[in-house]
Amino acid sequence: MQAIGYRTNGPISAPDALVALEVDPPTPGRRDLLVEVRGVSVNPVDTKVRATMAPGQDARILGYDAAGIVQAVGADVRHFQVGDAVFYAGDLTRPGTHAELHTVDERIVGRKPQSLDFAEAAGLPLTAITAWEMLFDSFALAEGAGQGECLLVIGGAGGVGSMLIQLAQQLTGLTVIATASRPETRDWVRQMGADHVISHRQSLVDQLAALDISPRYVASLTGTSQHFPAILELIQPRGHVAVIDDPGTLDIMPGKPKALSFSWEFMFTRSMYQTSDIARQGDLLNRVAALIDDGTLVSTVRQNLGPLGVATVTAAHIQQESGQVIGKNVLSGFAAA
């Protein structure tokens, strides 16, 4: 079958940064679905893996988000059958989704939103899971809670920020402040539902002081190393900071006088460690699909870059690494021969 991946990790500018692969179709395990991939998306994790992670003995197939049709099921699969339309965010420890066929543990799979096509649906899972886990696992909020409190989202126009703003507005009582620096990103985060928009290129402390707001929750999605001193200054005592990017080091000791909480959010943890609550990801994707179909949430996809191929995936990686992507970029499955 066809797939897209890499044989040597390195920069996207290298002539062989991404290559077309011909590999054997995967065989589903006992709890696995075999999915015909009809849509994928590109996330920051794709570019980080390609740039820094050695591919192994031969090559590594890239891609995590996917949507498609179930072609076969493992012996112990309980919740899906052949022909079901599904979407999911994959598993960092397995081959990726940039392939004609892909296997995935059914417990991290949801039923595709009926109102979206496959490529658009593929733009949701990783960002929706990350945002959901930040709100309801990291911050330990209950749905409907948060009245009178504020959430600051640093990097609101990206994929995770776009979903986090929507989920916070629709499922909690939080006031949402999002950072964005360009006119188009400021417009986008307002469209997603942010109550206030400030710039991460200016003093966060001064801008929040002008709004007379001190957030209890901070979701640092990008530039954490740069913004961390300001976060410690502006957050309320006993507040909570959740981080998804990769700061080299963080000095959390200045947060002690405020008794702050700090946590990482990494949506691959449940699948990597086969946690006892791994099925929560499938459940929340089903919930997200229902919220999309009833209009509570909206798609965050801005571009479909075309069918899977070396040129289109390369273009997606270049855009992702530019730091200019608003919402999500997606691709369709491989073009028919």
Digit-coded pLDDT (tens) for 266-275: 999 999 999 9
Q: Is the pLDDT of residue 147 over 70?
A: yes
SS (H, E, C) 214-276: CCCEEEECCCHHHHHHHHHHHCCCCCEEEECCCCCCCCCHHHCCCCCEEEECCCCHHHHHCCC
Per DSSP, 139 falls in state S
> According to the model, what pLDDT value does residue 174 have?
98
> According to the model, what pLDDT value does residue 337 have?
58
Exposed, middle or buried: residue 305 (CB in 10 Å: 0-12, 13-18, 19+)? buried
> According to the model, what pLDDT value does residue 336 have?
76
Do 120 and 156 lie in one domain? The reply is no
The separation between the first and the last C-alpha atoms of the chain, rounded to the nearest angstrom, is 12
Q: What one-character-per-residue DSSP string does 69-120 give?
A: EEEEE-TT--S--TT-EEEE---TTS--SSBSEEEEEGGGEEEPPTTS-HHH
Counted domains in the chain = 2
Do 135 and 94 lie in one domain? The reply is no
Task: Kindly give, in sequence order, each residue whose CB lies less than 8 Å from that of residue 195, ignoring residues fewer than 6 positions away.
Answer: 169, 175, 176, 177
Q: Kind of pairing, strands 328-332 and 32-42?
A: antiparallel
Do 177 and 273 lie in one domain? The reply is no
Digit-coded pLDDT (tens) for 97-137: 999 999 999 999 999 999 999 999 999 999 999 999 999 99
Digit-coded pLDDT (tens) for 171-191: 999 999 999 999 999 999 999
Q: Is the pLDDT of residue 223 over 70?
A: yes
| CA-atom Rg of the chain in angstroms | 20
Q: How far apart are CA 330 and CA 38, in angstroms?
A: 11
Do 8 and 38 lie in one domain? The reply is yes
pTM (whole model) above 0.85: yes
Do 144 and 260 lie in one domain? The reply is yes
Do 115 and 154 lie in one domain? The reply is no
> According to the model, what pLDDT value does residue 330 have?
97
Domain containing 176 — which CATH number?
Answer: 3.40.50.720
Could you give the 3-state DSSP secondary structure of residue 143?
A: coil
Cβ atoms within 10 A of the Cβ of 322, count? 8
Structural domain including 181 reads: 129-264
**Average pLDDT of the segment spanning 207-236:** 97
Domain containing 52 — which CATH number?
Answer: 3.90.180.10
Digit-coded pLDDT (tens) for 288-325: 999 999 999 999 999 999 999 999 999 999 999 998 99
Do 196 and 280 lie in one domain? The reply is no
Report the mean per-residue pLDDT for the chain.
96
Cβ atoms within 10 A of the Cβ of 92, count? 16
**Ramachandran angles phi, psi of 243, nearest 5°:** -130, 140
Do 225 and 146 lie in one domain? The reply is yes
Do 214 and 173 lie in one domain? The reply is yes
**Average pLDDT of the segment spanning 79-103:** 97
Angle at the Cα of 270 from the Cα atoms of 268 and 272, rounded to 5 degrees: 65
Say if 143 falls within a structural domain.
Answer: yes
Dig out the tokens for 89 from the structure.
């965010």
Cα 249 from chain centroid?
23
Say if 337 falls within a structural domain.
Answer: no
- Exposure string over 206-216, b if 16+ CB within 10 A, otherwise e: ebbeeeebbbb
Do 111 and 26 lie in one domain? The reply is yes
